[in-house]
């Protein structure tokens, strides 16, 4: 499925804005439902942090996915979008009291707990409300992912999760607490993972830990393996829908569920990444001493991934005629930061003031990370 841009509709809109191809999103969700549906014990959540645009959340909720949240604000956004509380999970290394209370008051499915002190606070806050909180422990599996260093989360050096060595201790602690119920194990090793071998390594580690627990006659209700499936930033249209068949089959083959267990997933980028593009207008083409700059009206405030992770987003000139000659540009934004660059030495059909450019594959970690730095207005979504 190839995204087409209705640029005749774009003329009257203030740039920059995010354009979402909702047909592609729906097709992606249908594929997830079909491929995960082959395995009756699989249960898929959407990682709200990838994009919490209310229109997208509504479409995703309608497809039947649950919601994976990493803050109280996200729990609120998910509930407001209509996700049932029994399908909301909440992870995060630093949950504030009000955020925990919000989860308790709404009886969310599960807190993914990341430390002993957090477990104690949840137990106390649940006790004050006369409730029993369902908790899973996020275990740091010390499994690397072959991805950017800033987006690996499952190594012992990362701040996330509970060390494997401490797993038994926290489980014993929880069994002595009256207001928490230990129901699952949670993992998340990183993002933009394209090598299925990384997921196989996680499965092997989960199997080891499960065997260790089984020897103590502990079998949890569910295993949650997080998200992380990557997308093709180089070729947004080549396989716009990620290979969910291979992804779910990998887990089916390598992760050994115990009888009665369900396997949960928390997919973010792979759900919404390819359906969004940042649309921006060329302000100026400026000749520098050694190169030419294409200065656009979108900046790192609208899409921070290139500045933050040296991420690549394919850039297309939507306005240039088919026979326009190619030229080489550094495509840059207007923000007063040298890192405000979308691409260096990019070949594009010749750019002119007023041309519309698309920064592709920007549906995940794009609009949601926008900031008001330089007193800039936030970009809006167009569907």
Ligand X SMILES: *Cc1c(COP(=O)(O)O)cnc(C)c1O
Q: Which is nearer to ligand X, 216 or 234 (CB)?
A: 234
Q: Which of 69, 72, 70, 51 is nearest to 60 (CA)?
A: 51
User: What does the alpha-carbon distance between residue 280 and residue 348 come to, in Å, rounded to a whole number?
Assistant: 14
**Nearer Cβ to ligand X (50/143):** 50
Q: Between residues 46 and 329, which has the closer beta carbon with respect to ligand X?
A: 46
Shortest reach from residue 299's CB to ligand X, in Å: 23
Cβ atoms 210, 259 nearer than 8 A: no
Give the distance from CA 64 to its chain's centroid.
18
| Binding footprint of ligand X on the chain (CB under 6 A) | 47, 49-50, 68, 70, 91, 188, 191, 226-229, 266-270, 364
Which of 255, 246, 276 minimizes the C-alpha distance to 32? 246
Q: How far is the CB of 268 from ligand X (least distance, A)?
A: 3
Cα separation, 203 vs 263, in Å, equals 11
Least distance to ligand X, CB of residue 181, Å: 20
In DSSP terms, 141 is beta-bridged to none
Which residues, listed in sequence order, are joined to residue 47 by a DSSP beta bridge?
A: 68
Provide the 3-class DSSP secondary structure of residue 73. Answer: helix
Residues in the chain, overall count: 383
Nearer to ligand X by C-beta: 69 or 177?
69
User: What DSSP string runs through 13-32?
Assistant: SPSSEEEE-HHHHHHHHHHH
Complex with ligand X: residue 21 or 68, whichever CB lies closer: 68
Closest approach, Cβ 50 to ligand X, in A, equals 5
Min. distance of Cβ 314 from ligand X in angstroms? 19
Q: Which DSSP string do the residues of 136-197 spell out, in sequence order?
A: EEEEE-----SS-GGGB--STTSS-SEEGGGHHHHHHHHHT-SSEEEEEEE---BSSB--HH
Q: Nearest approach, Cβ of 20 to ligand X (angstroms)?
A: 16
Contacts of 208 (CB under 8 A, 6+ apart): none
* Residue closer to ligand X, measured from CB, 160 or 342: 160
Of the candidates 79, 60, 54, 59, the one whose C-alpha atom is nearest the C-alpha of residue 69 is: 79
The Cα–Cα gap between 163 and 39 comes to: 30
The nearer residue to ligand X, 69 or 81, going by C-beta atoms, is 69
Closest approach, Cβ 23 to ligand X, in A, equals: 21
Task: Name the minimum Å distance from CB 113 to ligand X.
Answer: 12
CB of 2 to ligand X, least distance (A): 23
- Distance between CA atoms of residues 311 and 191, nearest Å: 13
**Is the CB of 162 or the CB of 296 nearer to ligand X?**
162
Give the CA radius of gyration of the chain. Answer: 22
Closer residue to ligand X in complex, CB, 147/301: 147
């Amino acid at each position: 499925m190839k995204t087409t841009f209705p640029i005749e509709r774009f003329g009257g809109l203030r740039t920059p804005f995010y354009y979402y191809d909702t047909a592609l999103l729906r097709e992606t969700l249908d594929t997830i439902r079909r491929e995960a549906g082959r395995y009756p014990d699989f249960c898929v959540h959407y990682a709200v942090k990838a994009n919490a645009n209310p229109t997208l959340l509504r479409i995703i909720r309608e497809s039947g996915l649950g919601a994976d949240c990493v803050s109280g604000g996200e729990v609120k956004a998910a509930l407001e979008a209509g996700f049932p509380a029994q399908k909301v999970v909440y992870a995060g290394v630093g949950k504030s009291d009000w955020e925990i209370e919000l989860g308790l008051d709404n009886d969310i499915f599960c807190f993914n707990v990341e430390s002993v002190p957090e477990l104690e606070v949840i137990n106390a806050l649940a006790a004050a409300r006369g409730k029993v909180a369902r908790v899973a422990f996020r275990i740091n599996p010390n499994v690397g992912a072959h991805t950017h260093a800033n987006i690996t989360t499952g190594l012992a050096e990362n701040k996330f999760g509970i060390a494997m060595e401490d797993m038994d201790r926290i489980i014993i602690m929880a069994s002595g607490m009256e207001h928490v119920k230990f129901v699952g194990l949670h993992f998340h090793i990183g993002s933009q993972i394209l090598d299925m071998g990384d997921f196989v390594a996680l499965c092997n580690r989960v199997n080891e830990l499960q065997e260790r627990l089984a020897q103590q006659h502990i079998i949890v209700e569910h295993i949650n393996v997080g998200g992380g499936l990557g997308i093709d930033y180089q070729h947004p249209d080549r396989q716009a829908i990620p290979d969910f068949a291979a992804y779910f089959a990998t887990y089916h083959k390598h992760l050994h569920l115990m009888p009665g267990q369900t396997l949960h997933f928390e997919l973010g980028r792979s759900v919404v990444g390819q359906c969004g593009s940042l649309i921006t207008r060329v302000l100026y083409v400026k000749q520098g001493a050694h190169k030419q700059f294409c200065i656009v009206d979108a900046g790192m405030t609208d899409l921070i991934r290139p500045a933050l992770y040296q991420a690549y987003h394919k850039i297309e000139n939507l306005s240039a005629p088919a026979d326009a000659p190619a030229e080489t540009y550094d495509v840059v934004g207007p923000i007063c930061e040298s890192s405000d660059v979308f691409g260096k030495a990019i070949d594009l059909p010749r750019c002119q003031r007023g041309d519309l450019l698309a920064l592709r594959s920007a549906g995940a970690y794009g609009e949601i990370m926008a900031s008001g730095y330089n007193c800039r207005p936030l970009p809006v979504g167009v569907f």
